[in-house]
Structure 1
């Protein structure tokens, strides 16, 4: 193994570590500092269901949306998510049912049931916003996910703010989500999807 090869490996490794550090810093900074702004609509991004019920991660998002709605951050709520292979309902349907059980009127809830990714969440939610005349949105998702969700919202020219919902208390679980999110951000930055 020649000296030039070793130098190349060191430079590539240093580059990867630098990119990882910069992106993770943005993810962590946004998770800690992003604050919602009063908007036309609150968008809750889908997450895995347990059967036809929201998983704990999704319940944190929904509880955050309920609090935001009651505090006047938005007059309407879009719940966004399709039905996964192991789910018994669309994520949007399960989220709407959860919100209604928490005394949110069905009249202010819009279901977006076609999205299978964060990119599609924002794309199809923007279509609802355009149809209904909504201009601005608060995006509700868990802490690790807010940075990418906001970047995708900006990609669709939506004036957005974020409201980070809490996460599972396990440090190992948090670490897994934050590391996985790095690769999701890289994918979005490269292919814009």
Structure 2
């Protein structure tokens, strides 16, 4: 009788974990306004979500019946569902945090990412609890499980940082083909006071002009909206390109997007279906392009990339890579 109850409980928890995985996939694609028909296991983040669910499921299955701590397991499952639902709600309501910026990101996005990160921490802690119990045959404290979960989260970040370090993209014209039907898409970057382009923005525009002058792009699209009281990133980039002697009849502007994922969404909806366009070349800084490529894979679009010639000192380079690592972890796990 006890074994039957244990089996029923195990099946119920496994089903809840699988349902949660499907929910997570749905929320990820909903976050980017994509249908689940776009789902692909070629995306690293989707593989990661599946592996986490698989490790949890196996942990539940192999957990000894005599040591099945139902109360703690129920806490983990309930907490993970609660945080997942709260994260989705927070991502779809207007929070009073838009004017607060952390790491150059709006406060509402940071808050949503924080909730999703707590969700991932709960899953890592759950994994620690299950497998420590399986291997030691002893009761595992909730506190110790959370500590191990934090360590797993840190390890995941370090692995992501090393991945970016190994794949930071540097391009030269040999990787592109000359064609007047190619479109170079400049991703927006910071605008300084007085509507001056930051070094990052100006270097991206410089690269776009270089590609145009050498025949690798026949038209240039400048993207990026604005902060209150400033011209948009696209408009500032346009003024700079005009000052640099670029033929402005070959430039178009996109003034609404506020993030890399929104810009790639614009590319998918507006540029990718255009049969008159041959290659879409995204132009950004080398530390940024690995994440751009990952987002593009999530959207199932084929792009090419070209890196700017932006030069950073060690401190700025480290800061940007840490920020990109955090952003990539969040996008892999939750498509934010």
Looking at structure 1, the residues matched to 169 and 286 of structure 2 have their Cα atoms a distance apart, in angstroms, of: 8
**Compared with structure 1, are the counterparts of its residues 178 and 57 closer, same or farther at alpha carbon in structure 2 (3 Å cutoff)?**
same
Q: How has the CA–CA distance of structure 1 residues 141 and 9 changed in structure 2, closer, same or farther, with 3 Å as cutoff?
A: same
Q: CA deviation at 1:148?
A: 0.9
Q: After superposition, what is the alpha-carbon deviation per residue over 1:89-114, rounded to whole angstroms, capped at 9, x for unaligned?
A: 11111112211222221221121110
Any unmatched runs of 5+ in structure 1?
none
Q: Deviations over 1:37-75 (max 9, x none)?
A: 237211110011113221111111111111122222211
Higher strand share: 1
Partner of 2:316: 173
Provide structure 2 residue ranges, at least 5 long, that are not aligned to the other structure.
Answer: 1-138
Contact 2:220 2:252 in 1 (8 A): yes
Aligned residues: 191
Provide closer, same or farther for how the CA distance between residues 163 and 25 of structure 1 changes in structure 2, counting only shifts above 3 A: farther
User: Are the structure 2 counterparts of residues 101 and 75 from structure 1 closer, same or farther at C-alpha, using a change threshold of 3 Å?
Assistant: same
CA contact (8 A) 1:114 1:124 kept: no
Alignment equivalent of 1:152, drawn from 282, 295, 299: 295
Name the counterpart of 1:26: 163
Structure 1 residue 176, shift from structure 2 partner: 0.9
Judging by fraction of residues, say which structure has more helix: 2
SS at match of 1:144: coil
Aligned 8 A contact 1:54 1:94 in 2: yes
Task: Give TM-score, length-normalised by structure 1.
Answer: 0.84
Return the alpha-carbon distance in structure 2 between the equivalents of residues 29 and 132 of structure 1: 34
Structure 1 residues 75 and 166: alpha-carbon distance in aligned structure 2, compared to 1, 3 A threshold:
same
Rg comparison, structure with higher value? 2
Say if 1:34 and 1:9 are closer, same or farther in 2 by CA, change over 3 A.
farther
d(CA) in 1 for partners of 2:278 and 2:296?
12
Contact 2:200/2:310 (<8 A) preserved:
yes
Residues 150 and 77 (structure 1), Cα distance of their counterparts in 2 relative to 1, 3 Å cut = same
- Give the drift of 1:86: 4.8
Q: CA deviation at 1:9?
A: 6.0
* Runs of 4+ displaced beyond 6 Å: none
Distance (whole Å) between structure 2 residues aligned to residue 157 and residue 72 of structure 1: 27
Distance of aligned partners of 1:102 and 1:128 in 2 relative to their CA distance in 1, 3 Å threshold? farther
Alignment map for 1:104-123 (pairs within 5 Å): 104-123=246-265
Residue number in structure 1 paired with 2:198 = 55
Hey, what does 1:64 align to over in structure 2?
207
Give me the whole-angstrom Cα distance separating, in 2, the residues matched to 1:12 and 1:109. Answer: 49
Structure with larger RCO (C-alpha < 8 A, sep 6+) = 1
Does residue 283 of structure 2 align to residue 140 of structure 1? yes
Task: Tell me, in whole angstroms, the C-alpha distance in 2 between the residues paired with 1:121 and 1:56.
Answer: 20
Match of 1:92, SS? Answer: helix
Matching residue within 300, 325, 333 for 1:182: 325
* CA drift at 1:29: 2.9
Q: TM-score, normalised by structure 2?
A: 0.51
